[in-house]
Amino acid sequence: METSNQFLGTERIGKLMKQYAVPCIVSLLVGALYNIVDQIFIANASYLGSYGNAANTVVFPLTVVALAIAVMIGDGCCAYVSICLGRQEVGTAKRSVGNAVVMAVSSGVVLAALYLAFAAPIISVFGGTVNAETFRHSSEYFFYITLGIPFYMFGQAMNPIIRADGNPRFAMIATLAGAAVNIVLDPIFIFVFRWGMMGAAVATVIGQVLTAVLSVWYLAHMKIIRPQKGDYRLGGQVCGRTLALGITSFLSQISLVAAMAAINNMLRKYGALDPVFGQEQYAQIPMAVVGIVMKFFQIVISIVVGMAAGCIPIVGFNMGAGKFSRVRELFTRLLLAEAAVGAVALVLVEFFPRQLISIFGAANESSYYTDFAIRAFRVYLCMMIFACINKACFIFLQAMGKAVESTVLSMIREVVFGVGFALLLPVWFGLDGVLYSMPVSDVLTFLVAAVLIAQTYRELNRKDTLPMPD
């Protein structure tokens, strides 16, 4: 039973990519849909509208903080487990899983407690004080979402671990089940019961609880890496290696939070100077619109990250087994696939922005809302191809065990460029400067990523020519 994953080193790469990447894509898409579905129903509720949309945008990065910690634990464990199994170190793999479970549960409880204790200042930091109505909706939505944080984090952390155990299908089903419940309950709570932001949040939390319960069930029935009682005792070396391999996933998410905090505050600051959005009744529009644009971007990135993260067990196993030609082939296929996804997304945002914004209730809003949304889609996401390739590079390096290179590249993109340009460009270009920050960051990051991609190919070619040790 413990060698049942040996097919990762022998099966065709294309078949493995499909087998592992598709469920991972679906899982991440469904995870993204929790917040997006909330926003769609909120936007189409006449009594919530753009105020509810803006509130959703304010709270969204705070759920990303929880996701960042969860994927750091889960993706790091997945990469570590895969490398260990490639080396036939099953005992270490089990300890990694046990430690990851403890870290996920404890961090979820601590984060929820911090959120509840500092709710008002946290909401203010993310632009929730743009006007009184937005703050009221944000506070209500934030409180109930926070109650589900421990369940959300546990389910998200377990998802890649379940994939590492060789069951990407169950990982997908667990996430799908929770999202399906959310989709069914959202319209009931928002339109029938008219619970407003509370209804959207409660529907989400119920779905997250279901995913967590299914994950607990699987933990007790793991096939290859079921941890024993002693494996749940935290160990510094195992935790350190797990978190080091997952730090890129953490940074790619947490830096989005930093960027959104910067963006939301720049939107509030420079929107107040705009002749239209400086008016009280339109003040929330820039924040609501950019939040919607970023939700579309999240859908695309969920596909991109799903393709790359789904390959982590394949990369880790073959690196551990010394099968570098297979790693090289997988890297090539992944980069091409990610570029194709970016190209399709680019066509959508450039040619169909009006149709995209209409999904989020634009019919109930002013022409200022629609005009700004069209410009935001076309400018903010105009370098989607580079953005997709960059994300693939981050995760692939992580899967290879190159935590330092992956972390540095992620930091450059998300913190140095992402936050830096979001703060600087509006000084010269006003609201448009916020929109320019995304494409400028992606182009400059791609120049750095191209160097690392070339180095990775050279290293894999070199290792492939060396004789395998006995």
* Residue among 248, 309, 262 nearest 78 (CA): 309
At a CB cut-off of 8 Å and minimum separation 6, what does 374 contact?
353, 354, 357
Tell how far CA 418 is from the center of its chain: 16
Neighbouring C-beta atoms of residue 275, cutoff 10 Å: 6
Per-residue pLDDT band at 217 (split at 50, 70, 90): very high
At a CB cut-off of 8 Å and minimum separation 6, what does 274 contact?
286, 430, 431
At a CB cut-off of 8 Å and minimum separation 6, what does 456 contact?
331, 396, 397, 400
Is pLDDT of 462 > 70?
Answer: yes
Is pLDDT of 4 > 60?
Answer: no
* pLDDT of amino acid 276: 83
In percent, how much of the chain has pLDDT > 70? 95
* pLDDT of amino acid 466: 63
Q: Are 388 and 336 in contact (CB under 8 A)?
A: no
Q: Are 338 and 395 in contact (CB under 8 A)?
A: no
**Average pLDDT score, the chain:** 87
* pLDDT of amino acid 154: 97
**Highest mean pLDDT out of 42-51, 108-117, 291-300, 366-375:** 108-117
* pLDDT of amino acid 1: 37
By the 10 Å C-beta count (0-12 exposed, 13-18 middle, 19+ buried), 237 is classed as exposed
pLDDT in tens, 298-355: 889 888 988 888 888 888 888 888 888 898 999 999 999 999 999 999 999 999 998 8
Is pLDDT of 287 > 90?
Answer: no
Mean pLDDT of 87-99: 89
pLDDT in tens, 44-56: 887 887 788 788 8
* pLDDT of amino acid 315: 86
